[in-house]
Amino acid sequence: MPPSFSVSGGRALKGTIRPAGNKNAALPILAATLLADGPCRVDNVPHIRDVETMLALLAHLGADVRWLGPNTVEVNTARAEPRELDPALCARIRASILLAGPMLARFGRVSLPPPGGDVIGRRRVDTHFLALERLGAEVTIGAAYQLEAKSLAGADIFLDETSVTATENALMAAVAARGTTTLRNAACEPHVQDLVRFLSALGASVQGVGTNTLTIEGGAPLAAAGCTVGPDHIEIGSFIGLAAVTNGAITIDGVRAEDLRSILLGFERLGVRPRLDGTQLIVDAGQERRIRPDLGGHVPKLEDGPWPAFPADLMSIAIVVASQCEGILLVFEKLFESRLFFVDKLIGMGARIVLCDPHRAVIAGPSPLHGGVVESPDIRAGMAMLLAALAAQSDSVIHNIGQIERGYERIDERLRALGAAIERADGTK
C-alpha cells in the first residue's frame, strides 16, 4: 500500500528548522549542466523525487551522476548523447521540459515527450517553443515535440507570458546562440536568478538578473563550474504558515531576506508578522492572526502574480492560515484554474470557505478544524493539507503523500524535530 501520513494535531510546534534548497532552482541548474564541458558540483540540492527524476533523465542521456553527500551532487555531461528522452521519466515531472533549451544548444535536436507534473490546470508550452523558434529552432508537434536547429542566433524575444520555465529554456539556449539575445517579459523569481548565477559561473554573459529584461551575449565557450542552490522561499513560507496555524514558535535558519518581501507582506495581511534577524526568520508564538481589512473597512484581497508579487505556490498555504485567522479574506489565484479545488477537503475538516469560481475563494475565520482522511492532490495543496492536519484537534490521515515528497525533503522527520506527531502509516520514518 502506498505510504500515508498519520497526524495527531493540536500541538504547538517549536524549534529551529532549515529550509531545503529551492527545487525550482535545482532542476534548471541540473539541466544546464548539459552546457558545461566537464563535471559540475551542485550543493544544497534537495534530495526529493523531482530531483531524482531529473538526474535519471540526465543519466539516460549518458551523463555521469554521483551524489557526493546528502545534498551535493556532481554531474558530468561530457559523454551525453542526443538520445530520445524516456517518456516514462518525462511524464513524472513538469521540469522535463527544461531539457529542451540545453539539448537544442548542445546537440542541435531534441525529441521531447510531453511533460508531466501537478494537475493544477492548463499549463501552456507554447511560450517555450515560440522563444526557441526565435533563436532559430524548427519545432514539429506530434506524439513528442521535435526541435531542430543547425545553428542558433541571438534575437530580440518578447515572451507572450511571464513563464518561469520558458524564461529558463530561452536563457539556456541563448547562452549558446551566436550574438546578442534580449529576453523581454522574462520571469525573475529567485530560482531564475539562481540559474543566471550558475550560467554566469560557467562563463556566460547575462545582464539584468532580477529584472524582467535579460540581455545575453551568447556563443562563448562554457567551462565546468560549481554552485550552491539558494534556500526555497516557498518552503520558508510553508514554515511561516506552520507556525501560525499551530500557534508555535519557529526559527527558520538560513534565509535570503531579499526573497521574502512579498511573502512577508502577504502574511502580514493575515496578522502573522515574523521577525528577520540576519539570515534567521523568527515566527514568535501568539501571533495576532487577525486579517487586516482594507482602508474603509472593505474586505481585503490576497492575490498572486509573477514575481515579485505573492507567489502562486503559497496560495494553498495562505488559505489554511486564513481559516485560522479572525476576519474575512478574498483570495484571487490568477494563474491556475484548478489550484483552489482542494478547498473542499478543508471544508470537510471544518473550514468556512466559499469557492466562488475556479480562481476565487472567500475564507471566514477562525474555524476550529477537526481531523479527517484526505488525499494530497498536488505538491502545494498536499503541504496545505498537512498544515491543516497539524492544526486540527484530532487525528488525520493523508494519502498520496508522494506528491508532497516531490517538493519537500524528509518533511515528516523535520516536522517531528519541531514536536509534530506525524508518522508514516507503513511504519517507516
Catalytic residues: 118
- Three-state DSSP string of 99-133: HHHHHHHHHCEEEECCCCCCCCCCCCCHHHHHHHH
C-alpha cell at 266: 502577504
Is the separation of the CB atoms in 363 and 309 below 8 Å? no
C-alpha cell at 323: 481559516
Is beta strand 5-8 parallel, antiparallel or unpaired with respect to 395-399?
antiparallel
C-alpha 327/C-alpha 61 separation (Å) is 53
Query: Which residues fall within 8 angstroms of residue 371, CB to CB, at 6 or more apart?
Result: 7, 9, 349, 389, 392, 393, 394, 395, 396
CA angle 16, 18, 19 (to 5 degrees): 135
Query: Which residues fall within 8 angstroms of residue 198, CB to CB, at 6 or more apart?
Result: 29, 32, 225, 227
Look at phi and psi of residue 153 and say left if phi exceeds 0, alpha if psi is from -120 to 50, else beta. Answer: beta
C-alpha cell at 361: 475563494
C-alpha 9/C-alpha 429 separation (Å) is 18
Q: If you ran DSSP here, which 8-state letter would residue 320 be given?
A: H
